Structure 1
Amino acid sequence: MTNASGGTGDIQAVQRVGQLLGLFTVYRPRLSVAEAAALVGLNRSTVSRYFGSLVLAGVLERSHDDPTVYEPGPLLLQLGAVAQGQRRVLDLAPRHMRRLSRETGLTVVLSLLGTAGPVVTLVSEIGTIPILVTVRVGTTLEMDSAQGQLFLHFSRDRESFTKYWESLEPDERRAVEEKVAATAKTGMARASAPMGMSILAAPVFDDHDIAATIAVVGMPSDEKEVAAALRRAAFRITAEMGGTDMWRSQIPGGAEDADGEAASQEAS
């Protein structure tokens, strides 16, 4: 058995981790080392080593009530929530993005939060302006980007950004904090783009947190109209994600958006 990267030892370790994590279910959300060892047929010392490593990685955590018992950790919960939310938003967003791109003539980008920053996940380039900005799917954006500012401001998972804040020099941190604070005024964020263009981004919520961001990229011909169109698109995706209450509580004037959309649907 080899320990080289990609060898059978690594494969077996991954398989065992998957096997152990598969023991946690809705009906069995907590496990002791002894219980896990009995279920998978491994000795307790082996399971204990795996559980210890998974705790260090944030995949599992010890129960606050009983330190001999393990339960899903913050990373596992984050991945589960992300996977569920991504499936929905990636299914729901495209038609709204195409509509927004046609209305504004601009490139429209949907970003999801990755481990190093927002990741461009969907792009609509139906826009018709003479200079159309292309954004590559898979691009990781900086946390001080317009999209990053929204995650920093709206996300309820503050601990996920602790390392980012700690990595900044005092002057850098103050500058980013000012940008993030500015999003509270309108619920949207702005950043500069190449060639003197700008990016305007708005949050998309599900029923408990910010799920994604949607942004228009380019120089708006009529900034107020573009901002209004972006806001409408973000709210419509949010509503389909079940995040209307979150929108009402987090976005200035959000109640009016929700009421206005409901009235529009009734009229149609």
Structure 2
Amino acid sequence: MNQSVGKALRLLQLFTSERPRLSLAEIARMSGLSKPTAYRFLKALEEEGVVTRSSINQDDKQYQLGLRLLELGNFVAEQIEVRKIALPHMENLRDEVNEVVHLVILDRGHAVYVERVETDQPMRLFTRIGLRTPLYVGSAPRLLLAYMREAEREEILSQLKLSPYTESTITDPDELRKVLQEILEKGYSISYGEYVAGTLGISAPIRDHTGNVIASLTIAIPGDHFSQERTEHIIARLKRTAGKISRECGCMFNY
């Protein structure tokens, strides 16, 4: 990659949900660039609409990501064919179970939430479209990890640092491998409070025309909305819906 392009992209990655606005001084410090160099990159990005200034105060320029990124992000989302196919089925599933439904895919060693269908319930979950999470924590990421080719899965497992997000996060490699094998045997993944305390996650695989798993269809249930009977009810409908989406993606696998 051209060094200038790489530096510009790294500047964009400095912005997060925790720090949506940054000053020139902060960007220079965090990137390791001099202020004049950082300003030159920011000016070019600003001209393309990728970043914008949120203040006209010359002594305190604040930068934030521009709307051009939202436009490009929408283009990327539209290119994800499984998202288009899955969305109406996700809405139907949401109506059946009255819980939030997610679509999660694998991207560069992480799980990425690419679609979300809300309910009218007042309780909100800490998930959003674009959220990236490690593959060992939660039902959706772990399902994607379980269905990888064995060599690829083992390579990722050897590199993972199993840090806890909650008291329920699996941090023992042997226990994680056991859970991954159980996912393959059952055909679905389930977790409780591993990424967000008090939340039950249930996920089923979506396959393409080759039979490979390309996405995870996930229901997230907050608080005390679940019981054993209701969980079994939701698993059945989740697997049925994942099967419908898979068949529309060309899969002949018998769910």
Q: Shorter-chain-normalised TM-score: which range? A: 0.5 to 0.7
| Residue matched to 2:87 | 94
Please tell me whether residue 186 in structure 1 is matched to residue 218 in structure 2: no
Amino acid at match of 1:131: M
Where do 4+ consecutive residues of structure 1 move more than 6 Å?
Answer: none
* Compared CA separation, residues 132 and 166, structure 1 to 2 (3 A): closer
Q: Do the aligned partners of 1:165 and 1:173 also contact (CA within 8 Å) in 2?
A: no
Please tell me whether residue 133 in structure 1 is matched to residue 132 in structure 2: no
Please tell me whether residue 143 in structure 1 is matched to residue 135 in structure 2: yes
| Residue matched to 1:215 | 218
Aligned to 2:206, the other structure's residue is in SS state strand
Please provide the CA RMSD for this pair: 2.9
Amino acid at match of 2:217: I
TM-score by length of 2: 0.58
Q: Do the aligned partners of 1:120 and 1:136 also contact (CA within 8 Å) in 2?
A: yes
* Compared CA separation, residues 173 and 87, structure 1 to 2 (3 A): same
Aligned to 2:133, the other structure's residue is in SS state coil
Amino acid at match of 1:177: R
| Residue matched to 1:105 | 98
Amino acid at match of 2:226: P
Please report how far the alpha carbon of residue 229 of structure 1 lies from its aligned counterpart in structure 2 after TM superposition: 1.1
TM-score by length of 1: 0.56
How do residues 79-90 of structure 1 correspond to structure 2 at under 5 angstroms?
A: 87-90=80-83
Aligned to 2:4, the other structure's residue is in SS state coil
Looking at structure 2, the residues matched to 5 and 93 of structure 1 have their Cα atoms a distance apart, in angstroms, of 38
Aligned to 2:172, the other structure's residue is in SS state helix
Looking at structure 1, the residues matched to 155 and 187 of structure 2 have their Cα atoms a distance apart, in angstroms, of 22
Amino acid at match of 2:131: T
Amino acid at match of 1:99: N
* Compared CA separation, residues 123 and 4, structure 1 to 2 (3 A): closer
Aligned to 1:93, the other structure's residue is in SS state helix
Q: Do the aligned partners of 1:106 and 1:132 also contact (CA within 8 Å) in 2?
A: no
Amino acid at match of 2:110: G
* Compared CA separation, residues 158 and 148, structure 1 to 2 (3 A): farther
How do residues 197-216 of structure 1 correspond to structure 2 at under 5 angstroms?
A: 197-208=199-210, 209-216=212-219
| Residue matched to 2:108 | 115
1:172-222, Cα deviation, whole Å (9 max, x unpaired): 211210211121232110112435220000000002211100100014361
Specify every segment of 5 or more residues in structure 2 that has no aligned partner in the other structure, as ranges. 9-75, 163-170
Q: Do the aligned partners of 1:107 and 1:134 also contact (CA within 8 Å) in 2?
A: no
Greater helix proportion: 1
Larger Rg: 1
1:93-139, Cα deviation, whole Å (9 max, x unpaired): 000001111111100000110113110000000x2445343521111
Looking at structure 2, the residues matched to 186 and 178 of structure 1 have their Cα atoms a distance apart, in angstroms, of 12
Aligned to 2:89, the other structure's residue is in SS state helix
